[in-house]
Amino acid sequence: MKVALYNRVSTAKQTTENQKIRLLEFANSNGWEYDIFEEVESSRKTRPIKQKLLGLLRKGVYDSVVVYKLDRWARSSTELILETKELIDKGVAFISYSDNLDFSTASGKLHFHILSAFAEFERALISERTKEGLRRVKMKGKQLGRPKGSKDKVKRSNKAYIMRELKKRKQADEKKGVFLPTSDYIK
């Protein structure tokens, strides 16, 4: 089995050595062929090594990805659920060494579904709190949305909207077998 070992730290002042040592021991004890992917100084939005690895996993280059802990792979439960679900659906195993989770096994799948349920619950709670907060602010008389600015004082052209609509009509007519020159739609 060929696996990808993924290590991540948040700043250049930190090291992935502890993660790497454990993952190498784990891979060697299982007799796996592996490649190491190290993400150093990652931010919430930029993790180029992880993106490269995801591309390789999507292409089927690796049978499995092994991380030291779940939080080394994803920064939010939503990110974790979406990405691991995609990998599982593609037949790629996802293993978290220190969490003792292997999402390719029956018990791992159960854990994954429990995590998914909690992530969905968390999203629903956030949505409810946001809606309640907006309702409260609106009741106090505050106008919601972007404040009016200088761009709002100038009448905007609607040419682009009109051209999109004309194009849609022309395409609909062509599906019906009616072919008219574009100039007939502009009148």
- φ, ψ of residue 165 to 5 degrees: the values are -65, -40
Q: What is the mean pLDDT of the chain?
A: 85
Q: How far apart are CA 125 and CA 119, in angstroms?
A: 10
Q: Taking 90 as the threshold, does the pLDDT of residue 35 lie above it?
A: yes
How far apart are the C-alpha atoms of 101 and 146, rounded to whole Å? 45
Q: Which ranges in the chain are annotated with CATH 3.40.50.1390?
A: 2-116
CA–CA gap between residue 7 and residue 42 (Å, rounded) = 11
pLDDT in tens, 96-111: 998 888 988 888 888 8
Q: Apex CA 97: angle with CA 91 and CA 103, to 5°?
A: 30
At 127-159, the pLDDT tens digits run: 899 899 899 988 998 888 877 776 667 777 777
To the query of whether residue 157 is one of the catalytic residues in this protein, the response is: no
Helix (H, G, I), strand (E, B) or coil at 101: strand
Residues 2-116: name the CATH superfamily.
Answer: Resolvase, N-terminal catalytic domain (3.40.50.1390)
CB 76 within 8 A of CB 115: no
pLDDT at 10 over 80: no
Q: Which one is catalytic: 10, 42, 104, 116?
A: 10
Band (pLDDT 50/70/90 cuts) for residue 187 is low
Considering the entire predicted model, what is its pTM?
0.62
How far apart, in whole angstroms, are the C-alpha atoms of residue 155 and residue 102? 58
Helix (H), strand (E) at residue 33: strand 33-39
Residue 153 to residue 62: CA distance in whole angstroms: 56
Q: State the pLDDT at residue 124.
A: 85
